[in-house]
């Protein structure tokens, strides 16, 4: 393991983030405020509570997950795709750096950026609603695991993408609908029985449910299943990345 190589990649990626720090800070603040204005005013006026929790507070975990997942995928996918696009990826692959160090550097930076965005959204949410975190350590653990796992997914998508359009294809057409249909702004117990069963096939449900349990002590699915789901997803992403570097898929051409 070469810590200097990891730090060089991580520092380079973070420097790009800090150059646009105000933009990175203001964007989640504005979007979070708009979500609270739209959902809080339009829907919150019709739904006072969801399972004993005020609707404004209830949507906070889903809102955090929505932004964190999107940011983790976007940051990681662009970080590895751009070197492919301009050709500098070959310099990195020919350097005395193994694939694990490359992954830790890029994924670590993307996860850090997503964690920053999630923290900003949580702080912004406290301006609108009163939040009490029932299980703070579990909340941090779920947040970190989500940042890391979806940064790994973004890394895979960045290697897979052949152009900038493909880079946005999966996040827009697959991931974002799964997040919105995964109970971000509602409890799946509010759905008809048949749709509750269908929703359980959405992997994002387990992430949002576990994260919401950390806040309010309530969950749509058992917390153990949520942890198992995110652990399995992380393991699957790691296995795919290992296979990519072992075979050189989308890297050698």
- Residue 29, Cβ neighbours under 10 Å: how many? 14
Q: Identify the domain containing residue 207 by its residue range.
A: 3-247
Classify residue 74 by burial, with Cβ atoms within 10 Å: 0-12, 13-18, 19+: buried
Handedness of CA 199, 205, 210, 211 (dihedral sign): negative
Residue with tokens 């989640």: 28
Total domains in the fold of the chain: 1
3-state secondary structure of 49: strand
Pair of tokens at residue 1: 């393991």
Nearest to 69 by CA among 158, 160, 184, 164: 184
Q: Does 252 reside within a domain?
A: no
Residue 215 Cα distances to 53, 57, 69, 71, 182, angstroms? 10, 9, 18, 22, 17
Classify residue 168 by burial, with Cβ atoms within 10 Å: 0-12, 13-18, 19+: middle
Which residues touch 137 (CB under 8 Å, ≥6 apart)?
none
- Residue 188, Cβ neighbours under 10 Å: how many? 20
- Residue 218, Cβ neighbours under 10 Å: how many? 16
Ordered per-residue pLDDT tens for the chain, 253 residues: 788 989 999 999 998 888 877 777 777 778 777 877 777 666 666 677 777 888 888 889 999 999 899 989 999 999 999 988 888 888 888 888 888 999 999 999 999 999 999 998 898 888 888 888 999 999 999 999 999 999 999 999 999 998 888 888 888 899 989 988 888 888 888 888 898 888 988 989 999 999 999 999 988 899 999 999 999 999 999 999 999 998 888 887 6
DSSP string, 53-118: EEHHHHHHHHHHHHHHHHHHHHHHHHHHHHHHHHTTHHHHHHSS--HHHHHHHHHHHHHHHHHHHH
Q: Does 217 reside within a domain?
A: yes
Q: What are phi and psi of 54, to 5 degrees?
A: -60, 145
Q: What are phi and psi of 53, to 5 degrees?
A: -115, 135
Q: Rounded to an integer, what is the distance from CA 240 to the centroid of its chain?
A: 18
Q: Does 253 reside within a domain?
A: no
What's the CA gap between 159 and 156, in Å, rounded?
Answer: 5
pTM for the model stands at 0.91
Which residues touch 89 (CB under 8 Å, ≥6 apart)?
80, 83, 251
Q: Does 42 reside within a domain?
A: yes
């Amino acid at each position: 393991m070469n810590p200097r190589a990891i730090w060089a990649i991580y520092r380079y990626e973070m420097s790009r983030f800090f150059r646009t720090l105000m933009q990175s800070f203001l964007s989640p603040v504005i979007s979070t405020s708009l979500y609270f204005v739209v959902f809080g005013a339009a829907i919150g006026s019709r739904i006072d509570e969801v399972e004993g929790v005020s609707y404004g507070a209830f949507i906070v975990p889903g809102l955090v997950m929505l932004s964190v997942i999107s940011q983790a995928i976007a940051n990681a996918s662009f970080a590895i795709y751009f070197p492919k696009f301009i050709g500098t990826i070959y310099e990195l692959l020919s350097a005395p750096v193994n694939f694990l160090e490359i992954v830790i550097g890029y994924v670590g930076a993307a996860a850090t950026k997503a964690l920053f965005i999630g923290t900003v959204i949580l702080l912004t949410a406290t301006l609108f609603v009163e939040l009490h975190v029932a299980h703070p350590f579990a909340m941090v653990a779920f947040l970190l695991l989500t940042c890391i796992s979806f940064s790994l997914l973004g890394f895979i998508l960045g290697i897979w993408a052949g152009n900038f359009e493909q880079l946005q294809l999966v996040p827009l057409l697959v991931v974002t609908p799964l997040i919105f249909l995964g109970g971000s702004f509602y409890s799946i117990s509010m759905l008809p029985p048949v749709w509750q069963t269908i929703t359980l096939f959405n992997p994002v449900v387990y992430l949002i449910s576990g994260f919401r349990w950390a806040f309010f002590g309530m969950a749509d699915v058992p917390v153990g299943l949520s942890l198992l789901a995110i652990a399995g997803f992380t393991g699957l992403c790691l296995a795919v990345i290992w296979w990519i570097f072992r075979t050189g898929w989308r890297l050698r051409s």
